[in-house]
Each structure stands twice: as C-alpha cells, then as structure tokens.
Amino acid sequence: MEDGTVKHGNWMRALLRWQWMLVLMAGTLVLAASPARSQGVVATEYAVKAAFLYHFAKFIEWPESVGGPSPSEVHLCVVGADPFGDALDELGARGVEGLADGARVQIRHVANLKPPVACHIAFISNSERSRLAAHLADATAAHVVTVSDLSGFAESGGVIQFVLEDGKVRFWINRGAAERADVRLSSRLLALARIVDDSGGHAGTPRR
C-alpha cells in the first residue's frame, strides 16, 4: 500500500484534500458562471439551428388534415436525445409571424412519430440513427417535416438536413421526401437550400 493512502481515520489529510477540491471547484464555478462577453453575430450551433426551425414553420404549408396551410399551433417535436439545451425554450413563448393570429410554437419531446403523436416539424436527434427508417416512414404517413443533422439524412429520405459549411449552418432539402409527406415548401425556402435526391430510391415513389 502506498504512503498517503486515505484510509482508516486519516482525517487531517482527507480534510485537507476536501478543501483543496472545494477551492478548485469553487474556482471552476465562478469562471463557468461568469457572464459571456458578446461581440458580432456569432452564436452556438444549436441556438442557430433552433432559430432555423422557427423560421421553417413560416415557409411550409401542411395539408388540411393537419391544420391546413396555416396551423394555429405549430408542434415542433424533438425525437430522441435533445441537443438544444436551452435554445428551444425561447421558441415556445413566441408567436410565429405570418401564421394565424397568435399561432405559437409548441415544443414536444417524443420517442417516435407514430400516431397519436402529432407533429408539424420533427427534429430527429443523432441518437436515432438506428431507428431512422422507422421514423421517416412514420413521418411521411403523418405529414411531418423531418429535420436532422444526421449525415446522409436528406439522401435517405429526410426532408431537411442541416450541414455546417465554413462555420455557417446551411440546409439541404429533399423535395421528393416533402412531396411524399404531402407538404409544400415555399420557393423562398427552396431557393436558400441545396436540393438533393434520394440516393436509394426514386423521388415520388411512395416507400414502405
């Protein structure tokens, strides 16, 4: 056994180390909690992605069965582990411009997109890669606009995929996937996106 091992009744030493640790941790806390200095338009990745999700709601029209072109409440679902931290909380309190008066974003955390789960937009977390096929099939049936930053997402039949280019958030859109889900994306949104096709299927062919 080594010298200095804290064992039976080695009180003083233990106490000293407690203090040392506490000082270290107090220091960590003070520094971690210190207010952020802000300069320029720079933001954390998921704060930007959250803002994009909010904007998407304005540029999408849903079929009648899920509330028509302008739903009175936009259900934004997060499927799987939520990477957004606080970023989504801000959205919940906001009305969406351009939608019916007082339309708000409702944030929901869900495990899947099977009925009766009702979502307009679903952000599919990276934790869901192995279940992606099932989520996409459910989303198509329920007219859900799927969004994810999983690589290969749009090519696999997801509607909108976030990508990072030069440190900026960009998005790719699979038009075929949007058509299959029977949702309309505005031309303004499409103009900003890079359009991709399914790699494994033909656009327009309903898939099981």
Partner 1 sequence: MGALMRTMGRAIVVPALLAALVAVLAAPRPARAGETGDLLALSIEALMQVKVVSASATARTLDDSAAAVYVLTADDIRRSGARDLPELLRQVPGLQVARISDHTWAVSARGFNGRFANLLLVLVDGRPVYDPLYGGVYWDAQSVPLWNVERIEVVRGPGGDLWGANAVNGVINVITRDAASTRGGYVAGGAGRDERAYAAAREGVSLGERGDLTLYAQGFDRTVRDWNESRGGFRWDRRLGATRLSVNGEGYDGRAERQAYFASLSPPALTLTEDGERFDGAHLTATLRRGESRDGWWLQAYAARDRRDDGLHTAHIRTEALEVRRTRPMGRHGLTVGAGVREVADTFDGSLTVSFDPRHDRVYWYHVLAHDDIALTDALRLSLGAKVERTPYTGWEHQPSARALWRITPRHATWVAASRAVRVPTRGYADASIVQEVLPGSPPTVVKVVGDPDAETTGVRAFEAGYRGRPADTVSLDLATFYNRYDHVNTLENGTAFLETSPSVHTVVPLVLETNAHATAVGTEAVVTWQAARRLRLTATYAWLRLRARPDAGSDDVDNVRRNDGWSPQQQAGLLVRADPRPGVELDGALRAVDGLTALAVPGYVDMTARVAWEPVAGLSLSLTGEHLLRTHHREFAVLGATDVVAEDVPRTVFARVTWKP
Q: Give least dist CB 148 to partner 1, A.
A: 11
Q: Give least dist CB 113 to partner 1, A.
A: 11
Two tokens, residue 42: 């720079």
Cα dist from 143 to 63, 67, 197, whole Å: 8, 11, 19
Task: Judge residue 6's burial from the number of C-beta atoms within 10 Å of its C-beta, 0-12 exposed, 13-18 middle, 19 or more buried.
Answer: exposed
* Nearer to partner 1 (CB atom), residue 4 or residue 101: 4
* Nearer to partner 1 (CB atom), residue 192 or residue 195: 192
CB within 8 Å of 118: residues ≥ 6 apart: 66, 75, 142
Cα dist from 106 to 20, 25, 75, 76, whole Å: 46, 37, 5, 6
Q: Give least dist CB 33 to partner 1, A.
A: 7
Q: Give least dist CB 102 to partner 1, A.
A: 16
Q: Give least dist CB 81 to partner 1, A.
A: 7
Q: How far apart are CA 99 and CA 87, in angstroms?
A: 22
Task: Judge residue 114's burial from the number of C-beta atoms within 10 Å of its C-beta, 0-12 exposed, 13-18 middle, 19 or more buried.
Answer: middle
* Nearer to partner 1 (CB atom), residue 114 or residue 175: 114
| Residue tagged 């040392």 (tokens) | 20
* Nearer to partner 1 (CB atom), residue 6 or residue 195: 6
* Nearer to partner 1 (CB atom), residue 175 or residue 207: 207
